[in-house]
Amino acid sequence: MGQYGTIARLHSLLSEKRLSCTELTRAYLDAIKKENSALCAYVKVTPETALKAAAKVDAKIAAGEPLAPLEGIPMTLKDNISTKGIETTCCSRILKGYVPIYDATVWDLLKKQNAVLLGKSNMDEFAMGSSCETSCFGGAKNPHNRKRVAGGSSGGVAAAVSANLAAFGLGSDTGGSIRQPASFCGVVGFKPTYGAVSRFGLIAYASSFDQIGPIAPSVEDAALIYDAISDYDPMDSTSIGRKAPVSPALENSIRGKKIGIVKEYFRGVRPDVDSAIKKAVGVLCSLGAETVEFSLPAISYSLPVYYILACAEASSNLGRYDGIRYGYQTKQHFADRNDMVCKTRSEGFGAEVKRRILLGTYVLSAGYYDAYYKKAQNLRGTIIQSFGEAFRKCDFIAAPTVPMTAFPENYAAKDPVETYLTDLCTVPVNIAGLPAVSVPCGFGNDGMPVGLQLIGPEFSEAPLLNAANQYELASRKTSFRSVETGVRL
């Protein structure tokens, strides 16, 4: 263990007093100051919060007290995770100036470990997008090539981690929003089983899909973070909590494990991405795993199912932003309350959010409900069932995270439907509530990172991350490239 782990390395630097937490935190804050204007990974930097936490950690170190695994580790949160006293905007104009009066459960858990919050990171507006470019602050750039996007929606977290501007971060994944930017930025992104991590305090996009998870430089780090944030939370009725800690289970052989290769996941995949994935599967096989090929026809319906259901939920979740209680209110003259709400929402939401609210409102409307929403719900059941059958044939499914590498800038804005199609490999997991991890697995012809996606059955976090870790240990030298920016210790 500890081979590629950043968190473990920082933990030992702090514990052995080779570096104070304040020094470490300052190093990150300085790097952010230097690099962030070009990368746009952070939308808000919180030096005071960070240094206060660092001082606490230093006092503990001075007193000779042992440190928790994430204690003193500088990190970031996606800007849809509520932080008491720190503006939380979902990168939407409509929430500008909104300062939560309570903490999200995940942040509460990390705070208790004295994790050092460097700032809130960039995202697509309300997590709707695949490029981070729907952010009202402008999108985060890809640290591997700044002419490319960081991906989305958790683009800011992925860019920050990739550019060494944070040791790790928490994102949220509704249709691929952790895995896709992690794949684009060449880092590890892990979406846990729905219910494993509390959603309390995560500003909702599509409640039955949203799941918080870690973005980190290595699988080992992702496992440590997952162990810290997965817990039963009475404040979230859909919370189940984790079954057992994952970190101690990353050293197991994957000999004899069956890797499912599902035809539908390889449709329309760019050839260079396809060959990177096949090569990665080869590495898994060299470690003793076996492949089984089969078809899962039901997942072909994933995109319409996802966009109908997620937009339906979004249209309801975003109804509360009316300019009355918090956030943005129109500066224009308004005739009455209705006029005020209309103007506020027209000015406050961006085009992609409006598109999804309209779509969601439409599919729930009387006369259309049966044709769209109900049908999509039924198909969701079919997809869940077919995954259940798939996992009787294999232990994990291996697939590309994205059928391509990071888009050029403004690519996503040109054709929304084509952009939706790039979510093909990530959304089935959210529909079924399954855990999935994206691990860097080399580079495309354009030199941009490619992500290998491993998907497991519900609550298979431990064997899933073990397999990802075994792959990483076997291939890191060729599959991963560090970016020459930020804090590198």
Contact pick of 337, 346, 447, 478 for another protein (by CB under 8 A):
337
**88 touches another protein by CB under 8 A:** yes
237 binds another protein (CB under 8 A): yes
Least distance in Å: CB of 43 to another protein? Answer: 16
Residue whose CB is less far from another protein, 102 or 301:
102
Residue 203 binds to another protein (criterion: CB under 8 A): yes
State the first-to-last Cα distance of the chain, in angstroms, to the nearest integer.
Answer: 18
Using CB under 8 A as the binding rule, whether residue 322 contacts another protein is answered as yes
Residue 341, exposed/middle/buried by CB under 10 A (0-12, 13-18, 19+)?
middle
Q: For another protein, how many residues bind (rule: CB under 8 A)?
A: 43
Burial class (CB in 10 A: 0-12, 13-18, 19+), 351: exposed
Residues 353, 318 contacting (CB under 8 angstroms): yes
Q: Per-residue DSSP letters for 311-354?
A: HHHHHHHGGG-SSSSSS----S--SSHHHHHHHHHHHHS-HHHH
Considering only 19-27, 78-86, 178-186, 417-425, which stretch makes contact with another protein by CB under 8 A?
Answer: 78-86
**Residue range at the interface with another protein (CB under 8 A); choices 100-108, 114-122, 272-280, 282-290:** 100-108
For 485, the token pair is 């920016």
**Choice among 20, 130, 135, 153 that is catalytic:** 153
Work out how close the CB of 377 gets to another protein at its nearest, in angstroms, rounded to a whole number: 8
Give yes or no for residue 208 binding another protein (CB under 8 A).
Answer: yes
Q: Give yes or no for a contact between 486 and 33, defined as CB atoms under 8 angstroms apart.
A: no
153 contacts another protein (rule: CB under 8 A): no
Contact criterion met (CB below 8 Å) for 180 and 188: no
Token readout for 486 is 């930020």
Window 415-474: residues binding another protein (CB under 8 A): none
Chain CA centroid to CA 261, Å: 24
Q: Is the dihedral of CA 141, 144, 146, 149 positive or negative?
A: negative
Q: Could you say whether residue 207 binds another protein (CB under 8 A)?
A: yes
Binding span for another protein by CB under 8 A among 45-53, 108-116, 202-210, 391-399: 202-210
Backbone angles phi, psi at 416, to 5 degrees: -60, -40
Closest approach of another protein to the CB of residue 176, in Å: 19
Contacting residues for 80 by C-beta, under 8 A, at least 6 apart: 88, 90, 123, 126, 127, 172, 202, 203, 205
Q: Does 288 help bind another protein (rule: CB under 8 A)?
A: no
Q: Restricting to residues 352-391, name those near another protein by CB under 8 A.
A: 361, 364-366, 369, 373
Q: What is the DSSP string of 419-461?
A: HHHTTTTTHHHHHHT--EEEEEEEE-TTS-EEEEEEE-STT-H
Complex with another protein: residue 24 or 104, whichever CB lies closer: 104
The least distance separating another protein from the CB of residue 246, rounded to whole angstroms, comes to: 25
Catalytic residue status for 78 = yes
- The span of 12-20, 206-214, 381-389, 419-427 binding another protein (CB under 8 A) equals 206-214
CB of 172 to another protein, least distance (A): 11
Tokens found for residue 382: 């079919």
Residue choice 37, 64, 256, 325 for contact with another protein (CB under 8 A): 325
Report the amino acid identity of residue 37. S
Contact with another protein (CB under 8 A): which of 90, 273, 454, 464? 90
Based on the residue annotation, tell me whether 177 is a catalytic residue of this protein.
yes
Is the Cβ of residue 344 or residue 475 nearer to another protein in the bound state?
344
Q: Which of 1, 59, 62, 235 is in the footprint of another protein by CB under 8 A? A: 235
Here the tokens at position 355 are 């598109």
Q: Interface with another protein includes 312 (CB under 8 A)? A: yes
| Minimum distance from residue 203 beta carbon to another protein (Å) | 4
For residue 93, what is the DSSP state?
G
208: preceding bond cis by omega (within 30 degrees)? no
Q: Which of 108, 220, 221, 313 binds another protein (CB under 8 A)?
A: 313
Is-contact 344 331, C-beta < 8 A? no
The single-letter DSSP state of residue 66 is: P
Here's the x/- map for another protein, 14-53, by CB under 8 A: it reads as ----------------------------------------
Binding part of the chain for another protein, among 48-56, 247-255, 312-320, 347-355 by CB under 8 A, reads 312-320
Question: Among the options 78, 120, 191, 257, which is catalytic?
Answer: 78
386 catalytic? Reply is no
CB of 313 to another protein, least distance (A): 6
The encoded tokens of residue 66 equal: 């042992």
From the list 121, 135, 172, 177, the catalytic residue is: 177
| Among 46, 121, 315, 466, contact with another protein (rule: CB under 8 A) | 315
DSSP code string of 172-224: E-SSSTTHHHHHHHTSEEEEPPTTSB--TTBPPSSTTT--EEEEESSHHHHHH
Query: Hey, CA dihedral for 356, 348, 178, 279, is it positive or negative?
Result: positive
Residues that bind another protein (CB under 8 A): 80-82, 88, 90, 95, 98, 100-102, 104, 199-204, 206-208, 234-238, 312-313, 315-316, 319-320, 322, 324-326, 337, 341, 361, 364-366, 369, 373
* Residues labelled catalytic: 78, 153, 177
